[in-house]
Structure formats: structure tokens, C-alpha cells
Amino acid sequence: MSAPTISLEGLTSATGFDELLATARSGGCASSTCGVAGKPEDMDPAVWDKIKDHPCFSEEAHHFFARMHVAVAPACNVQCNYCNRKYDCANESRPGVVSEKLTPDQALRKVIAVANEVPQLSVLGIAGPGDACYDWKKTRATFESVAREIPDIKLCVSTNGLALPDHVAELADMNVDHVTITINMVDPEVGAKIYPWIFYDHRRYGGIEAARILHERQMLGLEMLTARGILTKINSVMIPGVNDEHLIDVNKLVKERGAFLHNVMPLISDPAHGTHYGLTGQRGPNATELKALQDRLDGGAKLMRHCRQCRADAVGLLGGDRGQEFTLDRIAGKDTYDSSKREAYRQVVAHERRDHVAARSAAIGMVKAAGSGKSLLVAVATKGGGRVNEHFGHAREFQLFEASPKGIRIVGHRKVEQYCVGGWGEKATLDGVIAALEGIDIVLCAKIGNCPKDQLAEAGIRATDAYGHDYIETAISAVYATAFAIGPLAATA
């Protein structure tokens, strides 16, 4: 059985790919923006160069590029209350699902297999279970062998930060230019409620002392990374009643120390996962609480809104995990790296992106200029490429955009159970989808049948496929214009 495709339709489908490639090649780079496609006006070109192909560090890139994680570093030196290591690490992967642990050699094989099959692949990350910096030998062995085979792949690690200062120099030597540190507190009193113990310098520490050491090491690691120009993303797990308010201080402090992005993720806690929080009934935040906190943090360190809390063995675009297609037993043993697909794809993207950027800034400009003072929450079904190009019934998640006087920006995503399987829509599933879309003003998709459309309407949610295959922002600006009776985009262009 082939897993549902998440390829960029039209970009990578057999004919579309060749066509687009032809366009991209004949495109001619007369424009002065060639080569810096997509760079926001206020961004340093050197920084842009580092993030432009990184789906997690750049919102814009996440439409085009894919990441993969390999779980090669299972040992850890910190115990978090939201993690049960008998199962998996909840830091960077959804708990309760055991990831495939790999040796560095197996990881290399897997990366090559994926690079040959998934042209969007641009980033290899090591992110739990375990800690990439603590289980350092395996991390290093993996990076070294992958970089030898596929020199242009970007390497990144996620870490709790405790062992990070010991390896910053080596990370820099290996050209790792993206690091994620999970920082849940800057006050050891708060930390003591999150971390029962750490293992540091040959002994186990608990309580405030443990949290203080962890905090100091995290700050030191962040400063060292900043000093070397390595981009650092901070992940924080939002734990209601424990660190929710406190994350405002975290945001401020990490920004001062040069963090590039701040990503606030909801605590996932379920008694079945056997974590301390799960067992003690600590709840996670709901979508509204999460968004409210993220909105309050706006203006501090730049917030990441498109994180998917990926599994530690995730493969593919952020919106769709293809990890199950690439388990060890499914990949051939002797694959050698073939760069042709990835190279061809990059050309297509370079072209498509310039287009997208222009369309996007026109659309955002229009919404800003409209001066309506109103905002609209839009759910978009997309397979990537920055377009409204997924059928309503095929979507396994909707990306959430907000159109407001501030422009158009991604504010999150809602996961749903795929409603239409093999051409049949299940009523019960549709109810679930409708519940997940609570609070949304309008749903944009490539196609939707009358029946689900009517039922959505009954629940007060409009849905339309009128903008199928348009760029997301273009479609949203058109919807915004209609909703608030503003002149359409064409009039200003």
C-alpha cells in the first residue's frame, strides 16, 4: 500500500515536474532578485542564506522543503516530567510512539534512501529520543558520514542544553548551523517543577540545584552559539499553571542572548503515555490558550507558529509525515546517493518561489492597506508549494492563517482525521473535522463536495474551492476583500 502522497502536486508529479523544470530553466534570471528569492526585506542576507531552505526556521521555506529526523542518540542526561523514556522523548516527538532507533550506519542508509526519493529533503536533524549533545559520539558519527555523501544537506540538532557547551566548537566545525534548545524556564524554582533530576559531572542532581545547573548551561550554550553565528531556535513546552506566564520571561531572556526563533509548543499529556505529568493529571493547554500566549509573546523573540512537534523519525514536509515509508526494513541496503532529483527540484523551487514571493507581498500589502480593522481566521488545505492545493476530504491537517491589519500570517495548524478514504466520506469523521475547525471563519481547499460543504455551513463555517491552486496568500486576500467589501487585488496591481 502506498501512503498518501504529500508531494508538491504540480511540482513533482511526473509531467508537472518536467513542465515546471522547463519553465524554470527558460525563466531567465533578468530580475535582480534572482538568488535571494523570498528574502523578507528586513532580514540580513547572511541569515536568510542559512534559513531559506530550512522548513522549521523559515515559514516561507516550510512550503517547499522537507526535513528528516534520525533517532541515533537515545541516551539522555535530563529527566523531564513530560517524558517517559520507557517509551519515547516528548521533547521533539509525539509521545507514545516508539521511534526507530538507528545506529549511525543505518542512519546513513536511511538518509540516502530518503534523499533519492524525496526531492524536497533539505535538512537532517537529530532530535530525540535522547539528547544529541549528550550521546555525542553517535551524533557526530552520523553527521560526518552524511556530510561526506550529501554535502549540501543541512544538519541540525535539538538538545536540552546541558551538554551543549561541550560541543559548540565541534558543531561549528561540522557546519551545523541550526540548533534547537528546549528551554522551559529561566527561574530554577519553576525548573524544579519540570525536571526531577539531571545527570551532570558524574552525579545526579535534583531539585532547585538541578534546575539551576541546567539553566546556567542552557544560557551558556545559547551565548556560545550566538557568538559563532549559529542560528538557535528555542523550544518551550507550555505547561498550564507551571510555566505558562513564565514563558514571557523566557522569551525576553533568550531574545537578549541572541535566540533567532522561539517556538512555544503545547504540553502533550495523556495518562497512557506514563509520564509524570500524564499520571498526575497535569493538563496541556488547549488551542486557544496556546494562541493567546503566542500572541502575547509577539514582539519578543520571533515566534515560530508552524511547528508540528514532529516525531523523532519524521520524514517529509512538515505537514505530512512519510516516516512509515522509510523504516529500515523497507529501504534497500546498498543505495548510493543520486543527486539528480534534489537538484532538479531546487531549480523548480527557485523559480516558483520568486513568483510566490511577489504574489504574497502583493496580497499582504492589500490586506494591510485595506484598513478595515477586522481579522479573519482561515484554514487552508495544502500539500505544499504555498498553494491551496489539497482536497478537503484528503487533508490530514489544515494550516491556519490570520488575515488582519497586520497582514497575513500563519498562526498554527489543526490536525484532523482524513475525512475521505477511498472516495467515501464518513459522517462521524466529518463531525470530528468540524470540531477541529472550531472558530474558523472560512476553509479554503482545492475541492469540496456539496455534502461536507453544507454540513460545515450548518456549523457556521464557510468552505470554498473557488481559489483552488492559487497561492495561499492571494486566495486569502481575495476572501478578505469580499468579506469586508474592499476593492479586489486586481484593482491595486
Binding interface with another protein (CB under 8 A): 74-77, 79, 85-86, 101, 129-130, 134-135, 137, 199, 202-204
Question: Minimal distance in Å, beta carbon 125 to ligand SF4?
Answer: 6
Among positive and negative, which fits the CA dihedral 50, 307, 251, 124? negative
Q: In angstroms, how far apart are the furthest CA atoms of the chain?
A: 68
Pick from 307, 366, 434, 448 the residue near ligand SF4 by CB under 6 A: 307
Cβ closest to another protein, residue 80 vs residue 301: 80
Cβ closest to ligand SF4, residue 61 vs residue 185: 61
Question: Minimal distance in Å, beta carbon 204 to another protein?
Answer: 4
| CA–CA distance, 243 with 405 (Å, rounded to integer) | 31
Number of H helices, E strands in the chain: 15, 17
C-alpha triplet 413, 302, 64: angle, nearest 5°: 50
**446 interacts with, out of another protein, ligand SF4, none, CB within 5 to 8 A per kind:** none
Question: Minimal distance in Å, beta carbon 247 to ligand SF4?
Answer: 17
Q: Is 36 helix (H, G, I), strand (E, B) or coil?
A: coil
Interaction of residue 138 with ligand SF4, rule CB under 6 A: no
Interaction of residue 127 with ligand SF4, rule CB under 6 A: yes
Pick from 254, 310, 408, 456 the residue near ligand SF4 by CB under 6 A: 310
| CA–CA distance, 136 with 190 (Å, rounded to integer) | 28
Which cell numbers hold the place of 17? 515536474
Interaction of residue 383 with ligand SF4, rule CB under 6 A: no
Which cell numbers hold the place of 342? 534534489
User: Of 162, 157, 176, which is closest to residue 312 (Cα–Cα)?
Assistant: 157
Which cell numbers hold the place of 235? 523550544
| CA–CA distance, 357 with 207 (Å, rounded to integer) | 49
Pick from 56, 72, 194, 231 the residue near ligand SF4 by CB under 6 A: 56
**126 interacts with, out of another protein, ligand SF4, none, CB within 5 to 8 A per kind:** none
Pick the piece of the chain touching ligand SF4 (CB under 6 A) from 208-216, 308-316, 337-345, 395-403: 308-316
Pick the piece of the chain touching ligand SF4 (CB under 6 A) from 128-136, 279-287, 294-302, 306-314: 306-314
Interaction of residue 318 with ligand SF4, rule CB under 6 A: yes
Question: Minimal distance in Å, beta carbon 184 to another protein?
Answer: 18
Chain position carrying cell 492571494: 474
Which letter, b or e, does each residue of 222-241 get, where b requires 16 or more Cβ atoms within 10 Å of its Cβ? Answer: bbbbbeeebbbbbbbbbbbe
| CA–CA distance, 41 with 466 (Å, rounded to integer) | 31
**310 interacts with, out of another protein, ligand SF4, none, CB within 5 to 8 A per kind:** ligand SF4
Interaction of residue 410 with ligand SF4, rule CB under 6 A: no
User: Of 67, 143, 122, 118, which is closest to residue 312 (Cα–Cα)?
Assistant: 67
**101 interacts with, out of ligand SF4, another protein, none, CB within 5 to 8 A per kind:** another protein
Cβ closest to another protein, residue 105 vs residue 431: 105
| CA–CA distance, 210 with 192 (Å, rounded to integer) | 7
Interaction of residue 420 with ligand SF4, rule CB under 6 A: no
**79 interacts with, out of another protein, ligand SF4, none, CB within 5 to 8 A per kind:** another protein
User: Of 445, 438, 434, which is closest to residue 475 (Cα–Cα)?
Assistant: 445
Pick the piece of the chain touching ligand SF4 (CB under 6 A) from 11-19, 305-313, 331-339, 459-467: 305-313
Binding mask 159-178 for ligand SF4 (x = CB under 6 A): --------------------
Residue 236 CA, distance from chain mean position: 14
Pick from 63, 308, 383, 413 the residue near ligand SF4 by CB under 6 A: 308
Task: Please give the residues from 177 up to 236 whose contact with ligand SF4 meets the rule CB under 6 A.
Answer: 180
| CA–CA distance, 189 with 208 (Å, rounded to integer) | 6
Question: Minimal distance in Å, beta carbon 274 to another protein?
Answer: 11
Which cell numbers hold the place of 110? 536511511
Cβ closest to another protein, residue 161 vs residue 386: 161
Q: Phi and psi of 429, rounded to 5°?
A: -65, -40
Contact status, residue 188 vs residue 246, Cβ threshold 8 Å: no
Chain residues binding ligand SF4 by CB under 6 A are: 56, 67, 92, 125, 127, 180, 307-310, 318
